[in-house]
Amino acid sequence: MKYKMLNLVVVTRTLGVLLLLYSIAIIPPLLISVGYQDGEWPYWLIIWMESVLLGWVMWWPLRRKALDLRRRDGFVIVTLFWFVLGLISAVPFLFMPQLDFSDAVFEAISAFTTTGATVIVGLDLLPPSILFWRQELQWLGGIGMIVTAVAILPTLGIGGMQLYQAEMPGPFKGEKLTPRIAQTARAFWIIYGGMTVVCALAYWLAGMSLFDAVAHSFSTVSTGGFSTHDDNFAYFNSPLIEFIACLFMLLGGMNFSVHYLAIYRGSFDQYWRNEEVRTFLIMVVILITITSTTLFFSTTYADPITALRYAAFQAISVVTNTGFGTATFANWALFLPLLLISFSFVGGCAGSTAGGIKVIRFLLLIKQARREIYRLVPPHIVRSLKFDRRVIPEEVTSAIWGFFSLYILLFVTLVLLLMANGLDQVTAFGAAATCLNNLGPGLGEVAASFTGVSDGTKWLLSFTMIVGRLEVFTAFVLLSRIFWRG
Amino acid sequence: MKYKMLNLVVVTRTLGVLLLLYSIAIIPPLLISVGYQDGEWPYWLIIWMESVLLGWVMWWPLRRKALDLRRRDGFVIVTLFWFVLGLISAVPFLFMPQLDFSDAVFEAISAFTTTGATVIVGLDLLPPSILFWRQELQWLGGIGMIVTAVAILPTLGIGGMQLYQAEMPGPFKGEKLTPRIAQTARAFWIIYGGMTVVCALAYWLAGMSLFDAVAHSFSTVSTGGFSTHDDNFAYFNSPLIEFIACLFMLLGGMNFSVHYLAIYRGSFDQYWRNEEVRTFLIMVVILITITSTTLFFSTTYADPITALRYAAFQAISVVTNTGFGTATFANWALFLPLLLISFSFVGGCAGSTAGGIKVIRFLLLIKQARREIYRLVPPHIVRSLKFDRRVIPEEVTSAIWGFFSLYILLFVTLVLLLMANGLDQVTAFGAAATCLNNLGPGLGEVAASFTGVSDGTKWLLSFTMIVGRLEVFTAFVLLSRIFWRG
Ligand SMILES: [K+]
Ligand SMILES: [K+]
């Protein structure tokens, strides 16, 4: 362990600043607690003071050290960011009588990683400030992920995402790490915030209560998937609300750099011109077609319009790794449960709030595989690999193969570990997939909630959700000996 | 479709020769039918005459054309070899009243690809000549696979196996395709035949009937897995017989080039010095340890020795993709069924009779993934990849990543197709894995036999077994447009 004191200083100070910023997030539930008189305000006050104090202690003494973040510290900070804030966010849930420590951590990490798998049954009866906190956490995690994915992971080179380094929106390109992260965060914060406001307004006009509208806008644009009702979106039973949800889930699942470009240049062409977004939309259409056709012909829904309605909502919910439900797809006919869970491995676009392997990596993986086939056939012409009309360097293709292989090997290991903990094969498969891909609903026993699983399983899955959020490789790098030796 | 007439001539002629050779294989069951007086001899005579006639018609008119096999023809011939001989081998089963056309094809292809998944219940009552034919088919498929894997696939460059081109035993290196295949086939035929004789003798001395000893030696060295009894190896209930089976399954799962070297140089060091064989043996020991410990602590078997006995047999049976059973592992506790099925994806060594992805590819995959992690960590030293003290070229690593990705994507697609045909998730998973990896027993409904699945599913799985045997890529190459265009 030769990780230098110098770096520890930077890491501590950065986390201190993040903690101070985070403490601001506790003010809304505090105000809501007072406004709705749900009696939770003393807890919120304590938690707020604690995070301010802790953040201050970590930042103040070290504030004058003139040190810049380096690439290597990025791995440590980004990992601690998700672990530490995830754990701290569990504190409010600890005050709920029905949740023990493991439950509280699972719920908080599930929200913060925008997974949206819950251990709470009886959501409709919870204090409003707690409900609000669950939703707000997803929203914070969503913007955290966008900044991580657009500004940090490409710099670290995780899973071939150095590809995106060249594609950063104009003004940010090529700057040093700290100012770039700050600038990116500011620009995307505005897009993300604006999207949330529009989404909340739309929900409200479509008939949700103001509280529900805001709460669900948080979990829609962040592709989180939590609801304030046990019945999730089935509670509203409104095609209009479902349509709004679909639209904003899709927006949340797209690369925010593309949103930025579309706004910056004032042209919607950007979406279709971007090869990843285009593939993503085509994939969604194909999945909706297969799902609705199968639902109709397996007579799950009697008329084609209803089949299409449920299929479209669920397909978009799963592909963007949101996990909202108007139906329990785990109970659908034939291959549909597995098909939908499989598509959650693809997930949304890189640089979005979605989880999974990401569309761009899948697209490149398929192009790479096709190239390997061509290589075998005389006259053995090996064409260079292109994405968005740019040639992909060999380093990126290797990184993507490596990413995919590790992802699959980790997934299989997880399923085995979960079965060792006593889950059956279908449940273990669903739980591992839904947590690693930050989706939410699983299969079998965990189709609706994770209430029934053991404490050990909850901890393993909480860990999995963070590893998924860190795009797997970040975690592996930190676990490698060479990282600490260097 | 520009595949030239010239090539069609070579392909037809080669298949004709193979068919003539194959007709010799029908003589043993014909003799057995006469000897045991099971009344099947007229069928065998008809089948024998048919194959001689068909082979002769394909070979004789074209025998004088002076054409050599080219690399591109290899793809066509190797694919047709498995399809055509697989289908022809089904004819004897057509005469069995309890089997329809789909059953007969499934059984024959399952035997010929050394998968060993059966649709027959009531083996103990079958005519001896039919029983013998099932076993002999596996034996023929086994040597077919060794020759394919050692002499043909490396030349085609499937999944990075050009690696082995340099490693061919001394006398065969660098020669033209046709004489090399012939020489390799001859040398390996002797090793394979000798191994079979020793195995049969050992079984006989350990207490099997002569018929059973020969029959099971066929399905052991070929890692086929068929038995002449419904209870498979549980029928004998003899630790000694199980030990012999374990030994010869392991030998069958090793690279036959290494056997050749060990005999050629008269040193057993070759086994341990070969990195793939070493990894394979270590893997087997680990799997036995995990399995026996779990069996003991989950109280499936009360005493540790019994747990070890069953664990060792089943672990070796699964890792070598043989599929023999002394117990139905699909019913074992916790994660064991999935663990064993997962290991069948690794399979035995390249250049053996085993199926799956192969140890060497897994080993390189893990080395490659580790290198990708190292690449991310400062100071970003990228060491060259080594196997058996030789540097692996970048072309091979790409091919192996591509192989793994296509294998997994194909597997997921298969599971979805099987579920579309009405199988439940666990059964579909087990059936796809066991057929793609040429293992034999599955999970769920297909744990013991494939009698219960629909005709469509049987055809799909028959196709899968051949695709697995062709190491997936061969099939993809043939399906690519560029192959036929070039
Ligand atoms: K989610
Ligand atoms: K087998």
One pLDDT digit (tens) per residue for chain A, 486 residues: 455 555 777 778 888 888 888 888 888 888 888 888 887 788 888 888 888 888 888 877 777 776 666 667 777 777 888 888 888 888 888 877 778 888 888 888 988 888 888 888 777 878 888 888 888 889 988 888 887 777 777 666 666 666 665 444 444 444 455 566 677 678 888 888 999 999 999 999 988 888 889 989 998 998 888 888 888 888 888 888 889 999 999 998 888 888 888 887 888 887 888 888 888 999 999 999 888 888 887 777 778 888 888 888 989 998 888 888 777 777 777 788 888 888 888 888 888 888 888 888 888 888 888 887 777 766 666 677 777 777 777 777 888 888 888 888 889 889 888 888 888 888 888 889 888 988 888 777 777 778 878 888 889 898 889 888 887 777 777 776 666 665
What's the pLDDT tens digit per position in B61-111?
A: 777 776 666 667 777 777 888 888 888 888 888 877 778 888 888 888 988
DSSP codes, A24-52: HTTHHHHHHHHHHT-S-HHHHHHHHHHHH
Inter-chain touch A376–B473, beta carbons under 8 Å = yes
Ligand closest to CA A116: 1
DSSP codes, B213-266: HHHHHHHHHTT----SSTTGGGGT--HHHHHHHHHHHHHHTS-HHHHHHHHHHT
How is chain B split among helix, strand and coil, in percent rounded to 5? Answer: 70, 0, 30
Inter-chain touch A157–B422, beta carbons under 8 Å = no
The token pair at B121 is 């219940």
Inter-chain touch B404–A409, beta carbons under 8 Å = no
Provide the pLDDT for residue B48: 87
CB-based contact, A333 to chain B, within 8 Å: no
Closest-CA residue to A255 (of A139, A351, A130)? A351
B157 interaction partners in chain A (CB closer than 8 Å):
375-376
Inter-chain touch A376–B477, beta carbons under 8 Å = yes
Provide the pLDDT for residue A81: 81
- Long-range contacts: A45-49, Cβ < 8 Å, 24+? A47/A91, A47/A92, A48/A23
CB pairs under 8 A between A and B: 151
A136 and A29 in contact (C-beta within 8 Å)? yes
Q: What is the DSSP letter of A166?
A: G
CA–CA dist B45, B28 (Å, integer): 11
Feature table: binding site of B for K(+): 114-115, 224, 322, 438-439
Provide the pLDDT for residue B481: 64
A72 interaction partners in chain B (CB closer than 8 Å):
377-378
A387 and A163 in contact (C-beta within 8 Å)? yes
The token pair at A450 is 């994770």
B412 interaction partners in chain A (CB closer than 8 Å):
342
Ligand closest to CA B440: 2
Provide the pLDDT for residue A158: 67
Provide the pLDDT for residue B168: 45
Distance A440 CA to ligand 1 centre (A): 5
* Partners of A386 in the β-ladder: A391
Alpha carbon of A53: minimum distance to chain B alpha carbons (Å): 34
CB-based contact, A121 to chain B, within 8 Å: no
Query: In chain B, pLDDT over 70 holds for what percent of residues?
Result: 88
The token pair at B185 is 């086939």
Closest-CA residue to B471 (of A368, A376, A384, A381)? A376
* Number of other CB atoms surrounding residue B7 within 10 Å: 16
Name the 3-class secondary structure at A246: helix
A371 interaction partners in chain B (CB closer than 8 Å):
402
Polymer length in residues for chain A: 486
Query: Helices B275-297 and B304-319 meet at what angle, rounded to 10?
Result: 140
Determine the average pLDDT of the residues in B6-10. 71
CB-based contact, A156 to chain B, within 8 Å: yes
CB-based contact, B367 to chain A, within 8 Å: no
Distance A450 CA to ligand 1 centre (A): 14
Name the 3-class secondary structure at B324: coil
CA–CA dist A47, A90 (Å, integer): 10
Distance A412 CA to ligand 1 centre (A): 21
Ligand closest to CA A352: 1
CB-based contact, A290 to chain B, within 8 Å: no
CA–CA dist B408, B414 (Å, integer): 10
Top mean pLDDT of A120-124, B25-29, B475-479 is at B25-29
Handedness of CA A209, A212, A214, A217 (dihedral sign): negative
Closest-CA residue to B363 (of B278, B284, B439, B436)? B278
Inter-chain touch A372–B412, beta carbons under 8 Å = no
A233 and A241 in contact (C-beta within 8 Å)? yes
Residue among B369, B422, B428 whose CB faces A405 most closely: B369
Query: Helices A210-221 and A239-252 meet at what angle, rounded to 10?
Result: 40
Feature table: binding site of A for K(+): 114-115, 224, 322, 438-439
Inter-chain touch A404–B405, beta carbons under 8 Å = yes
Q: What is the Cα gyration radius of chain B?
A: 22
CB-based contact, A9 to chain B, within 8 Å: no
Feature table: binding site of B: 114-115, 224, 322, 438-439
CA–CA dist A318, A320 (Å, integer): 5
CA–CA dist B455, A110 (Å, integer): 44
Reported ipTM: 0.78
CA–CA dist B447, B8 (Å, integer): 42
A334 interaction partners in chain B (CB closer than 8 Å):
419-420, 422
B130 and B92 in contact (C-beta within 8 Å)? yes
CB-based contact, A162 to chain B, within 8 Å: no
Q: Strand B390-391 vs strand A390-391: parallel, antiparallel, or unpaired?
A: unpaired
Q: Any residues with CB less than 8 A from the CB of A468 and at least 6 apart, and which?
A: A113, A115, A355, A356, A435, A436, A437, A438
Distance B189 CA to ligand 2 centre (A): 20
CB-based contact, A286 to chain B, within 8 Å: no
Alpha carbon of B394: minimum distance to chain A alpha carbons (Å): 10
Distance B140 CA to ligand 1 centre (A): 52
Q: Is the peptide bond before B379 cis (omega within 30 degrees of 0)?
A: yes
Burial class for B48, CB neighbours closer than 10 Å (0-12, 13-18, 19+): middle
Chain A, 368-397: which have a CB under 8 Å from a chain B CB? 368-379, 394-395, 397
B411 interaction partners in chain A (CB closer than 8 Å):
none
Q: Any residues with CB less than 8 A from the CB of B6 and at least 6 apart, and which?
A: B67
Q: What is the DSSP letter of B385?
A: P
A294 interaction partners in chain B (CB closer than 8 Å):
420
Handedness of CA B445, B451, B456, B462 (dihedral sign): positive
A394 interaction partners in chain B (CB closer than 8 Å):
394
Inter-chain touch B377–A338, beta carbons under 8 Å = no
Which of A344, A374, A377, A424 to probe the B interface (max B CBs under 10 A)? A377
Chain A, 14-43: which have a CB under 8 Å from a chain B CB? none
Buried b (16+ CB within 10 A) or exposed e, A238-273: beebbebbbebbbbbbbbbbbbbbbbeeeeeebbee
Inter-chain touch B416–A339, beta carbons under 8 Å = yes
CB-based contact, A478 to chain B, within 8 Å: no
CA–CA dist A310, A295 (Å, integer): 9
pLDDT of B1 higher than 50: no
Alpha carbon of A26: minimum distance to chain B alpha carbons (Å): 36
Enumerate residues with CB within 5 Å of ligand 2 (an ion): B 116, 225, 321, 323, 440
Feature table: binding site of A: 114-115, 224, 322, 438-439
pLDDT of B155 higher than 60: yes
Residue among A370, A399, A426 whose CB faces B426 most closely: A426
Inter-chain touch A486–B403, beta carbons under 8 Å = no
A415 interaction partners in chain B (CB closer than 8 Å):
335, 338
Q: Is the peptide bond before A379 cis (omega within 30 degrees of 0)?
A: yes
CB-based contact, A403 to chain B, within 8 Å: yes
A247 and A216 in contact (C-beta within 8 Å)? no
Residue recorded with tokens 């900070």:
A77
